[in-house]
Amino acid sequence: MKFEIFVTLKKEVLDPQGKAVEGAIKNLGLNSISNIRQGKYFTLEINEQDHSTALMHAEEACKKLLANLTIEEYQIRKLD
């Protein structure tokens, strides 16, 4: 089973990289773009038949390593 995982900084955590990217975007003249936040993207395969078991393993990976829950949040999506 394939999953994709997005890890992003929580809303209340300042994202200086996102801000710098936003500055560069503005320099391109794309003034309608704002609130850029930068994050991480993972894809992974889990060798399980049962969807909920696989999801549980993905959750555990996020909580224990892929995301730092002090500053980040995550979203897991199943890929076909």
Partner 1 sequence: MKASVIVFPGSNCDRDVQVALEKFQIPTTMVWHQETSLPKCDLIVLPGGFSYGDYLRCGSMASKSKVVNEVIKFANNGGYVFGICNGFQILTETGLLPGALLRNYKLKFICKDIFIKTTNNKTPFTNKITEKKILTIPIAHNEGNYFASNEEVNDLKENNQIVFQYCDLKGNVSEQSNPNGSILNIAGIINKKKNVLGMMPHPERVIDQILGGTDGQEIFKSLLQ
Contact residues for partner 1, defined by CB under 8 A: 13-14, 16-17, 20, 40, 64-66, 68, 70-71
- 1 or 66, CB closer to partner 1? 66
Adjacent-strand bridge partners of 43: 4
Does residue 37 contact residue 9 with C-beta atoms inside 8 Å? yes
Q: Measured from the CB of residue 6, what is the shortest distance to partner 1 in angstroms? A: 14
Q: Measured from the CB of residue 49, what is the shortest distance to partner 1 in angstroms? A: 27
- The structure tokens listed for 21 are 């990217």
Q: Measured from the CB of residue 47, what is the shortest distance to partner 1 in angstroms? A: 21
Does residue 78 contact residue 3 with C-beta atoms inside 8 Å? yes
- 20 or 33, CB closer to partner 1? 20
Adjacent-strand bridge partners of 75: 6
